[in-house]
Amino acid sequence: HTARLLLCLALMSSSLVAYDDSDSETETEKAEVPNTSSRQTNHPSSSVNRVQYSAPGSLGTKSTYEMQPTENTDSSGTSTVCEDPPEHYAQNNNTDSISPHCRRAYSGHTALCMSYKNYEQTSSSSTNSGNGISQKRIHKDSTTAIKGIRPYIPKRLRQENSSMPEKKESVQRDSSDCDVKLGISGEQTSRKISELIKPYLGSKYKLTEVPKSLIFYMSKHSGPVNEIQWCPVREQSHMLLSASMDKTVKVWDAVDTGWCLKTYSCHSCAVRAARWSSCGRRILSGGFDSMLHLTDVETGKQIFSSKNEFRISALKFHPTESNIFICGGFSPEVKAWDIRTSKVLRVYKAAVQQTLDILFLPEGREFLTSTDAVSRDSADRTIIAWDFQSSAKISNQIFHERYTCPSLTLHPKESMFVAQTNGNYMALFSAQRPYRINKKKRYEGHKVEGFAVGCEFSPDGTLLVTGSSDGKVFFYNYHTARIIRTLSAHKEACVSAIFHPVLPSLLATCDWAGEIKIWQ
């Protein structure tokens, strides 16, 4: 009897233990996954199970959050591991939604993220259900997340990691060359030979006539145009170079279409001077940012680049040495550079404050500089002649009137040069020592009024053309110094007017409003 009693007690105790265990398991399952099947049937397209949780302090409101039971791998091979949500959720002041969290390695540490695909699915389901959900996008990395480990990253390292993309961009921008923007068919038309120029390549330049009609009106520059120049290569002379105060240098097809072919944005300040190289494949530019840039026309790569000690206002290539150029500006010094060594060859020192223009005389053994040096009684050092090889002054008593000379130009056939003066006239000088002025000829009638108005001879040397501060273009007969015709070209000050080297009677003008016009 005692043995039976003990057996009954043992059976009763075992059944009680089994009942308690089974009851706790069912309660746990009900508490963890309520209405899972119903949520999946409502959204059959979703491959991710959504589980509802009650946010603490939300008065029983529920919000969804997505769980991925398996590890997802994106197209780049990056894995995303989703785990259980943390015990405390960041509460939004406006809504009671709970942000889902996915642990993922990012820049050497684990970060909280969520796949963009799940973001789209959840946002679409929340629109139907009316529940607001805050999501985070994936950060793609190649590092695999470590489950359950979230190491501490110092603030300094976090700042470095966050600034890494910006540093890469800045390095690429600094290491990259000139920012080149192609115009319409820029690559195709830059190296072509114009059909209008071909008939004139085999013949000599004929007599120049005064242009009458406007061919092209080009206004892409947003600032005053300081200088324009036709390409010196006859076959490529349809291209026109322009330097502007809007920090850019542009190349135009000024013969066939009038389109802007390319824009070079190398400088951070106004570009005061820009010149073609003798081969027509490079552009030398200098500006008020004290930078010198020699840029390849096709690729935009900088073949030569250097920081100067002063702001640059004048640039000229040597007529026979194509790798040497002279630059001057807001400094008493004028420097000769060699592109091959990227170094200064010679320094020409003058007791002046600024160099306005540079002009090489025939054969390049001597050159002239016009400066801003003006005294009360005479214009000592207004025009200075230099020996190129020895950097010695040949003469500084060339022009004796009290006016500065903003530009100089050389006659194409005779040994003469002309100086534009702020006295509203152009003076004629001999290009041979001692560079005497011709007092019988004075080209006057236009206005300068402080602008850097340029002057130029026609290719045959019969006409002398100059701009004017009132926007007009004046054509002078070189031999008689009389005004042949006046052209009302611009509304603002016309600072440059140059004839085409091949096509007869084709003229390009630019003004202080940023406009360039082609006349014929």
Measured distance CA(97)–CA(338) in Å, rounded: 69
Cβ atoms of 520 and 505 within 8 Å: the answer is: yes
Measured distance CA(250)–CA(180) in Å, rounded: 10
- The string of DSSP codes covering 252-279 is EETTTT--EEEEEE--SS-EEEEEE-TT
Please name the helix (run of DSSP H) or strand (run of DSSP E) that holds residue 439, with its range, or none. strand 437-444
Cβ atoms of 288 and 273 within 8 Å: the answer is: no
DSSP class of residue 235 equals G
Report the candidate in 104, 146, 149 with the shortest Cα–Cα distance to residue 118.
Answer: 104
Cβ atoms of 322 and 277 within 8 Å: the answer is: yes
Task: Supply the pLDDT for residue 156.
Answer: 66
Measured distance CA(211)–CA(440) in Å, rounded: 28
Report the candidate in 359, 353, 317 with the shortest Cα–Cα distance to residue 338.
Answer: 317
Report the candidate in 282, 299, 302 with the shortest Cα–Cα distance to residue 291.
Answer: 302
Alpha carbon 189 to its chain centroid, in Å, reads 22
Bridge partners (DSSP) of residue 231 are: none
Predicted model pTM = 0.65
Measured distance CA(331)–CA(191) in Å, rounded: 38
Tokens of 110: 């684990």
Task: Supply the pLDDT for residue 491.
Answer: 94
Cβ atoms of 302 and 293 within 8 Å: the answer is: yes
Bridge partners (DSSP) of residue 72 are: 80
Measured distance CA(114)–CA(101) in Å, rounded: 7
Write out the chain's pLDDT in tens, 520 residues: 677 777 767 666 555 444 444 444 444 444 444 444 444 434 434 333 333 333 333 334 333 333 344 444 444 444 333 444 434 433 444 434 333 333 333 333 333 333 333 434 444 444 444 444 444 344 344 444 455 566 677 766 766 565 544 433 332 333 346 667 776 555 555 678 889 999 999 888 888 999 989 999 999 899 999 999 999 999 999 999 999 999 999 999 999 999 999 999 999 999 999 999 999 999 999 999 999 999 999 988 999 899 989 999 999 999 999 999 999 999 999 999 999 888 999 999 987 889 999 999 998 999 999 998 766 555 678 899 999 999 999 998 899 888 899 999 999 999 999 999 999 999 999 999 999 999 999 999 999 998 999 999 999 999 999 999 999 999 999 999 999 999 999 999 999 999 999 999 999 999 999 999 999 9
Neighbours of 70 (CB within 10 A): 7
Which structural domains are found in the chain, ordered by start? 48-172 (no CATH), 179-519 (2.130.10.10)
